[in-house]
Amino acid sequence: MKIDRVELREIQMPLVHFFETSFGRTTTRRIVLVRVDANGVTGWGEVTAGEAPTYSYETPETAWHILRDFLIPWTLGKAWETPAEIAARFRPIRGHNMAKAALENALWDIAAQWQNVPLAKLVGGTLAEIPCGVSIGIQNSIAELLEKVEGELAAGYQRIKVKVKPGWDLNILEAIRTRFPRIPLMADANSAYSLADIAHLKEFDRFYLMMIEQPLGWDDLVDHAKLQREISTPICLDESIHTADDARKALQIGAGKIINIKLGRVGGFTAAKQVHDVCRARNVPVWCGGMLESGIGRAHNIAVSTLPGFTLPGDVSASKRYWAEDIIEPEVTVSAQGTIHVSQTVGLGYTPNLKRIEKLTVRKESFE
Ligand code: OSB
Ligand code: MG
C-alpha cells in the first residue's frame, strides 16, 4: 500500500475550563492534526504536544517541522504493509515521539479500515468497555476543587486524580479526604519536587493514595527509585518513560510500581504496545494518560486502553469535560458507571467532523 497524500493542519480549540498543572495554565489548545490518504482510505492522527515545551520539549511547531521536513518525506509514496514498519522507519530520528505518533497512528486508522476491523481490535485490544478516571487541574480555591471532585464523582468517574505542586498538595489532599474518605484518589506532580523534599513527600502516605505520578525530574529514574524505597505510596511514572527500554530499566531499579502510557509520549501504538508488554510480563499495571486531546486523539486513547494490561482507570474522559463541541461524531461519552463503551465500528470508531475541523483550522499544508 502507498501513501498518496498527507495533510497537516493546526486547529485551535478553547477549553471549557482552564487546565492548570505545576508547570502552568492552558486555556486554548493548539492541536496539529495529520490526515493521511492511502488507497482511497483516510486516516487521522493528532499531535498531543502542549503549547509550551513544559511537559516535554515538543510543541505544535516542533512537530510541524519534524513532520514536514522528515517524517512525511520519509513515508510519502513509499510502500508499506503494517504501521509497525513505518514506526521502524522513524527510529533513526531521536525523540520527537509526539510527531511520530500522529503520523503512525493515522496509519493504524487506515490499516483498521483496510482490514475491516475496529481500531481497538487491530491494536490487540480485548476489553469492550474501559474504566475511566478524571484529571482535575489546580483550581483557584479549595472550595472550587471540592466542587469539581463532587461533580466528577456524581458523573460516575471511577477515580479522581488531582494535580499537586508545593503549596497545593497536603492541604488539598487533607480537604478531599475529609470530605471523601474512601474514594480512589491519586496525585500528579508533573515533576514539581526533588529528593530534597523526601520528608514532605512521606507525608503523602497518610492519604492512602492509589499512586503519586511523576513526583521528581521529568527525565529521572534513579531518584524515583530512591524515593520509592522511602515512601509507601506507589510511584507511577509518566514523563520519564519514552520507550519499552525505559520501562524495563525503570522497573528493574524500582523507580515505580505503575506506568502511565501516553501514545504521544512513547511515539505511537507500536511503542505503546511494547511498553504495555514489558509491564504485563512483570505484572505491573498500566493506564492510559491524556494530553487534553481532541476527539481524534481521544479515540486513539480509547483503542489503546482496550489492551488487557490496562487494568486501572485512565485519564480518558468525556469530550464535554474539555470541549463545548468536539471534532468527532458522536462525541465521547462516559456511562453512569464511569466507563466508555468501545465502538465496534470499523476504524477509529468515530467520524471526524470535517466542517467543524475546517472552521477551527488556522493553517494547513498538504504533501502529495
Ligand atoms: O501529566 O497527565 C499529565 C494534561 C496535560 C499535560 C500533562 C498531563 C495532563 C493531564 C490531563 O493530566 C489528562 C487529560 O487529558 O484528561
Ligand atoms: Mg502526568
pLDDT band for position 1 (cuts 50, 70, 90): confident
For ligand 1, atom 5, the nearest C-alpha belongs to 291
> Best of 15, 21, 288 to mutate for ligand 1, by most ligand atoms within 8 A of CB?
21
289 CB near ligand 1 (under 6 Å): yes
Tell whether the model's pLDDT for residue 14 goes beyond 90.
yes
pLDDT digits (tens, 9 = 90+) for 254-264: 999 999 999 99
The pair phi, psi for residue 28, each rounded to 5°, is: -130, 135
Average pLDDT over residues 203-207: 98
- Residue owning grid cell 501516553: 262
| DSSP classification of residue 343 | P
Average pLDDT over residues 262-290: 98
Tell whether the model's pLDDT for residue 78 goes beyond 90.
no
Q: Tell me how long the chain is.
A: 368
C-alpha of 142 from chain center: 26
Give percent of the chain with pLDDT exceeding 90: 98
Tell whether the model's pLDDT for residue 50 goes beyond 90.
yes
Q: In sequence order, what are the residues at sequence separation of 6 or more whose Cβ sits closer than 8 angstroms to the Cβ of residue 261?
A: 241, 272, 275, 276, 286, 287, 288, 289, 304, 310
Q: Indicate yes or no: pTM above 0.95.
A: yes
CA of 135 to the centre of ligand 1 (A): 7
